[in-house]
Structure 1
Amino acid sequence: MIKPEFDPVALATPFFILTIILEIVLARFRKADARYEAKDTAVSLAMGLGSSVAGVITAGVVFAATIWVYEHRLFTIPMTAIWAWVLIFLLEDLTYYWFHRLSHERRFWWVAHVNHHSSQHYNLSTALRQTWTGGVAGTWALWLPLAFFGFPPAMIAIQKGISLVYQYWIHTEAIRRMPRWFEAIFNTPSHHRVHHARNPVYLDRNYAGILIVWDRLFGTFQAELDAEPCRYGLVKNLGTFNILRVAFHEWIATFQDVVRHPRYALGYIFGPPGWSHDGSRETSAMIKARALSPAGAAGSDRSPAGPRESHA
């Protein structure tokens, strides 16, 4: 089967809109812990709309590549088998983990992901603040091995949609903790708040899509600490609601770095975000090390440049 019978994201879109409105109303009457700012929410919604348009533009290339790989598949996996859905759930979620981790640890892919972390608020609308340039960055290629193994393209698309729909509800402060067993297995609002936080202790942690077990397995898990409230956004926030700057600022910054220092182009493109040839900026590892040092604890949130900062 080539085309999916249904699109989980399209079906869930009315739910997204209704729950955002509900969260705003509950917050207004102090019935839910949620913080909204009109301009910030407008940017998130506009980024979500732009991401959908960009996805349509690049869909042909992604579709053609997936079909070509599937035509050269190793096996033929039936969409009607329950075991196949269990297997693709696990493999797609593992793929998402590595895609998400790569998008934080290598600048070329961070430039297409940074938009999602640019809001200083954490609410359901933040989930819709998606990239316009993910197709250009080519991270979609990480899912091609699933087609090579024999999963039908429609099956892959459906499972990716299910993952995206699941991740919507974890973008909230209104839910503090889920039951302990659920927190141990699944990604939750608490785990994902850590992922969006700019506190040094929280940087580049909890990459999970649906299952938090991948972070526990690969050493990237960090629990939310009651003594360390999450501060959201970038290490140095943009300070603007200009939609074009939100969408393209890190692409521009990368281009500028390459033009200024062509000798170190590969480092500025594929090094970790915050890398610089002269050490004048800080990567996440450097920020964490400084924050953990006796002299750095007091000023751990003030870095000259880091992985969640615009260099433009």
Structure 2
Amino acid sequence: MEILTMLSELTTPDSLYYWETWIDDNFFLLAMFVFAIELIRYVFKRRISWQLIGDSATNFVTLGFLFVMVFIVGLAYVGAFLFAYDNWSLTHLPLTGWTVVGCLILADLAYYWEHRFLHSNGFAWGTHSVHHSSPFFNISVAYRFGPLDWFFPFFFHLPLVLLGFHPFLVLMCETIVQVFQTLLHTETVKRFPRPIEAVFNTPSHHRVHHAANKRYLDKNYAGILIIWDRMFGTFAREEEKVKYGIYPAVNSVNPIKVLFHGYWKLTQQIWHAPSWAYRFQLLTRSPHWAWEQSQKRRRNDANPS
């Protein structure tokens, strides 16, 4: 109860804006400190390479692109939340410790479904595949963003505003979930005690999510709580060695190629599609469906009847 009372004192609209800004400004420094430790670990394990360094640098370039896009559309994003809150929300919930905790849990659930959506159709995968395209797994990969990664969160977090949570509280909870996610991108931490692994998302669970192994595909979408994956049937435990990246591999540290490879590939698929119905399915069906269809077409071309 004391924690909830303290949260109540800190949750005025002004303080929410302050804490969101503080998290954004200071957490990056912590992440860079952790990344430096990871680089030292790579050196001691003799796994450091120019490809890894180039890949990491590319990750931060894509982060810079995201910052530019957020700067351009950020005011519209916040303005739309505020307009919806003032005109369409079911109620205006008070800013208390309970509503902070409730909003954070719901924001985490919203993140799960947003993340799952990004894997479910070609249009969204075109941007999210950038995040999965690195053959490495370290803190810098958390900052590997696609060209439309700023676009999709709005639609999954807007319902929280319509339920009556203050927009700045929703934005702060979005930020907390993203910050938690960042720390999961590491091979340094193996596993936590079982109770933690059972309830929370961990580096082990998130390594599974980034895996290209067939048994791990489309698993562990969680943000903070892994219980969502357990509830909705998308959980997988890390059991075999993880292979990172996507197929086909990007094989480049050119930031422009990395940033736009997903939509470039999708554009090529649409251009060479045999029909408009097929083009529509490329946008709306999963990338696995598109891959299976391409394999069928290749087999048919190689063995015409």
Query: Does TM-score exceed 0.5, indicating one fold?
Result: yes
1:106 to partner: Cα distance? 1.2
> Which residue number in structure 2 is paired with residue 132 of structure 1?
147
Q: Contact conserved, 1:48 with 1:128, CA < 8 A, in 2?
A: yes
1:193 to partner: Cα distance? 0.3
SS at match of 1:111: helix
1:20 to partner: Cα distance? 0.8
1:33 to partner: Cα distance? 9.0
1:49/1:163 CA distance change after superposition, 3 Å: same
Q: Contact conserved, 2:139 with 2:182, CA < 8 A, in 1?
A: yes
1:240 to partner: Cα distance? 1.1
> Which residue number in structure 2 is paired with residue 82 of structure 1?
97
The one-letter code matched in structure 2 to 1:170 is L
1:54 to partner: Cα distance? 1.6
- RMSD of the TM alignment (CA)? 2.3
Residue 174 (structure 2) pairs with residue 164 (structure 1): no
Equivalent of residue 111 in structure 1, options 126, 129, 134 = 126
1:173 to partner: Cα distance? 0.7
Q: Which has the higher contact order (CA 8 A, sep 6+)?
A: 2
Largest Rg, 1 or 2: 2
1:260 to partner: Cα distance? 3.0
> Which residue number in structure 2 is paired with residue 280 of structure 1?
294
1:21/1:70 CA distance change after superposition, 3 Å: same
More divergent stretch after superposition (56-65 vs 208-217):
56-65
SS at match of 1:134: coil
The one-letter code matched in structure 1 to 2:184 is I
1:277/1:47 CA distance change after superposition, 3 Å: closer
More divergent stretch after superposition (94-103 vs 268-277):
268-277
1:114 to partner: Cα distance? 0.8
Q: Contact conserved, 1:104 with 1:110, CA < 8 A, in 2?
A: yes
1:9 to partner: Cα distance? 2.4
Distance 1:26 1:274 in 2: 35
Residue 73 (structure 2) pairs with residue 61 (structure 1): no
> Which residue number in structure 2 is paired with residue 4 of structure 1?
17
- Structure 1 unmatched ranges of 5 or more: 283-302, 305-312
> Which residue number in structure 2 is paired with residue 153 of structure 1?
167
Distance 1:56 1:134 in 2: 13
- Structure 2 unmatched ranges of 5 or more: 1-12, 300-305
TM-score, structure 1 length as denominator?
0.83
Distance 2:161 2:109 in 1: 15
The one-letter code matched in structure 1 to 2:248 is K
Distance 1:91 1:223 in 2: 24
TM-score, structure 2 length as denominator?
0.85
SS at match of 1:74: coil
